[in-house]
Amino acid sequence: MQLLRFTTAGSVDDGKSTLIGRLLYDSKSIFEDQLAAVQLSSERKGLGHVDLSLLTDGLRAEREQGITIDVAYRYFATPKRKFIIADTPGHIQYTRNMVTGASTANLALILVDARNGIVEQTCRHSFIASLLQIPHLIVCINKMDLVDYAEDRFNQIVEEYTEFASKLDVTDIRYIPISALNGDNVVNRSENMDWYQGATLLNTLETIHIASDYNHIDGRFPVQTIIRPHSDEYHDYRGYAGRVAGGIFRPGDKVTVLPSGLSSKIKSIDTFGGAVEEAFPPMSVSITLEDDIDISRGDMIVKQNNQPHVSQEVDMMVCWLNNRPMQQGAKYYLRHTSREVRSVIKEVVYKIDINTLHRMEGDKEIKMNDIARVRLRTTQPLMLDAYRKNRSTGSLILVDESTNETVAAGMVVDSFNN
Amino acid sequence: MHKYYLNHLQELEAEAIFVIREVVAQFDKPGILFSGGKDSIVVTHLAKKAFWPAKIPMPLIHIDTGHNFPETMAFRDNLVKELGVQLIVGSVEESLRKGRVKEETGINASRNALQITTLLDAIEEHKIDAAIGGARRDEEKARAKERFFSHRDDFGQWDPKNQRPELWNIFNGRKQMGEHFRVFPISNWTEMDVWNYIKEQNIAIPSLYFAHQRQVIYRDNTWLPLSEFVTLRQGESVEEKQIRFRTLGDITITGGIESDADTLEKIVAEVAAVRSTERGNRGDDKRSETSMEDRKKLGYF
Q: Which of A269, A303, A337 is the last residue of a domain?
A: A303
Nearest in space to A109 (alpha carbons), one of A144, A81, A84: A84
Q: B160 vs A70: CB contact, 8 Å cut-off?
A: yes
Task: Return mean pLDDT, chain A.
Answer: 89
Averaged pLDDT, B251-273: 88
Ranges A197-201, A208-212, A299-303, A324-328: which has the least confidence: A208-212
Query: Is the domain of A112 the same as that of A202?
Result: yes
Question: Count of residues for chain B?
Answer: 301
Would you state the pLDDT for residue A228?
Answer: 94
Would you state the pLDDT for residue A55?
Answer: 66
Query: Is the domain of A59 the same as that of A178?
Result: yes
**Cα-flanking dihedrals φ and ψ of residue B287, to 5°?**
-70, -35
pLDDT greater than 80 at residue B121 = yes
Q: What is the DSSP letter of A246?
A: B
Would you state the pLDDT for residue A157?
Answer: 96
Of B12, B164, B274, the CB nearest to A405: B164
Query: Is the domain of A138 the same as that of A201?
Result: yes
In-domain check, residue A417: no
In-domain check, residue A122: yes
Q: B168 vs A77: CB contact, 8 Å cut-off?
A: no
Domains delineated in chain B: 8-193+289-298 (3.40.50.620), 205-284 (no CATH)
> Which chain B residues have a beta carbon less than 8 Å from that of A228?
54
Q: B14 vs A243: CB contact, 8 Å cut-off?
A: yes
Q: What CATH number should be reported for the domain holding residue A47? A: 3.40.50.300
Contact of B280 with B201, CB cutoff 8 Å: no
Look at residue B240 and give its three-state secondary structure: strand
Chosen for mutation from B158, B167, B287, B296 (greatest number of chain A CBs closer than 10 Å) is B167
In this complex, is the C-beta atom of A103 within 8 Å of any C-beta atom belonging to chain B? yes
Contact of A333 with A398, CB cutoff 8 Å: yes
pLDDT digits (tens, 9 = 90+) for A50-92: 666 666 666 666 666 666 667 888 888 888 999 999 888 766 5
Of A104, A239, A280, the CB nearest to B168: A104
pLDDT digits (tens, 9 = 90+) for A164-203: 998 888 889 999 999 988 889 998 899 999 999 999 999 9
Q: A99 vs B167: CB contact, 8 Å cut-off?
A: yes
pLDDT digits (tens, 9 = 90+) for A276-303: 999 999 999 999 999 999 999 999 999 9
pLDDT digits (tens, 9 = 90+) for A129-167: 999 999 999 999 999 999 999 999 999 999 999 999 988
**Cα-flanking dihedrals φ and ψ of residue A154, to 5°?**
-60, -50
In this complex, is the C-beta atom of B109 within 8 Å of any C-beta atom belonging to chain A? no
Would you state the pLDDT for residue B1?
Answer: 38
Find the residue in B nearest to A284 (Cα): B14
Domain count, chain A: 3
Would you state the pLDDT for residue A194?
Answer: 94
In this complex, is the C-beta atom of A92 within 8 Å of any C-beta atom belonging to chain B? no
pLDDT digits (tens, 9 = 90+) for A260-269: 999 999 999 9
3-state SS string over A15-41?
A: CHHHHHHHHHHHCCCCCHHHHHHHHHH
Chain CA centroid to CA B230, Å: 23
Q: How far apart are CA B254 and CA B219, in angstroms?
A: 11
The alpha-carbon gap from A234 to the nearest alpha carbon of chain B, in Å, equals: 7
Chain CA centroid to CA B15, Å: 19
Query: Is the domain of A48 the same as that of A107?
Result: yes
Nearest in space to A182 (alpha carbons), one of A26, A10, A12, A13: A26
Query: Is the domain of A186 the same as that of A228?
Result: no
Q: Which of A164, A193, A213 is the last residue of a domain?
A: A213
In-domain check, residue A34: yes
Would you state the pLDDT for residue A63?
Answer: 63
Would you state the pLDDT for residue A414?
Answer: 80
The alpha-carbon gap from B5 to the nearest alpha carbon of chain A, in Å, equals: 6
Query: Is the domain of A194 the same as that of A69?
Result: yes
> Which chain B residues have a beta carbon less than 8 Å from that of A273?
49
Q: What CATH number should be reported for the domain holding residue A242? A: 2.40.30.10
Query: Is the domain of A379 the same as that of A286?
Result: no
pLDDT digits (tens, 9 = 90+) for B200-237: 999 999 999 999 998 888 988 888 888 888 888 888 88
The alpha-carbon gap from B214 to the nearest alpha carbon of chain A, in Å, equals: 25
pLDDT greater than 70 at residue B162 = yes
Find the residue in B nearest to A132 (Cα): B168
Task: Return mean pLDDT, chain B.
Answer: 88
Would you state the pLDDT for residue A418?
Answer: 44
**Cα-flanking dihedrals φ and ψ of residue B219, to 5°?**
-145, 135
**Sequential DSSP letters for A68-89:** --S-EEEEEE-SSEEEEEEEEE
Query: Is the domain of A209 the same as that of A253?
Result: no
Please, which residues 27-46 of chain B have a Cβ atom closer than 8 Å to chain A? none
In-domain check, residue A239: yes
> Which chain B residues have a beta carbon less than 8 Å from that of A396?
170
In this complex, is the C-beta atom of A402 within 8 Å of any C-beta atom belonging to chain B? no
Number of CB pairs < 8 Å for A and B?
181
In this complex, is the C-beta atom of A409 within 8 Å of any C-beta atom belonging to chain B? yes
Helix (H) or strand (E) holding A8: strand A2-10
Q: Which of A192, A213, A234 is the last residue of a domain?
A: A213
Please, which residues 170-229 of chain B have a Cβ atom closer than 8 Å to chain A? 170, 172, 174-176, 187-188, 190, 192-193
Using pLDDT thresholds of 50, 70 and 90, give the confidence band for residue A241. very high
Query: Is the domain of A56 the same as that of A131?
Result: yes
pLDDT greater than 60 at residue B195 = yes
Please, which residues 49-78 of chain B have a Cβ atom closer than 8 Å to chain A? 49-55
Query: Is the domain of A28 the same as that of A99?
Result: yes
3-state SS string over A160-214?
A: HHHHHHCCCCCCEEEEEECECCCCECCCECCCCCCCCCCCCHHHHHHHCCCHHHC
Would you state the pLDDT for residue A38?
Answer: 75
**Measured in Å, how far apart are chain A's first and last C-alpha atoms?**
40
The boundaries of the domain holding residue A346 are 309-412
In-domain check, residue A418: no
pLDDT greater than 70 at residue B282 = no
Q: Which residue has the higher pLDDT, B284 or B237?
A: B237
Query: Is the domain of A30 the same as that of A174?
Result: yes
Averaged pLDDT, A344-360: 89
Q: For A210, how many CA atoms within 13 A lie in the half-sphere containing its CB?
A: 27
Query: Is the domain of A85 the same as that of A157?
Result: yes
Contact of B247 with B279, CB cutoff 8 Å: yes
Q: Which residue has the higher pLDDT, B162 or A129?
A: A129
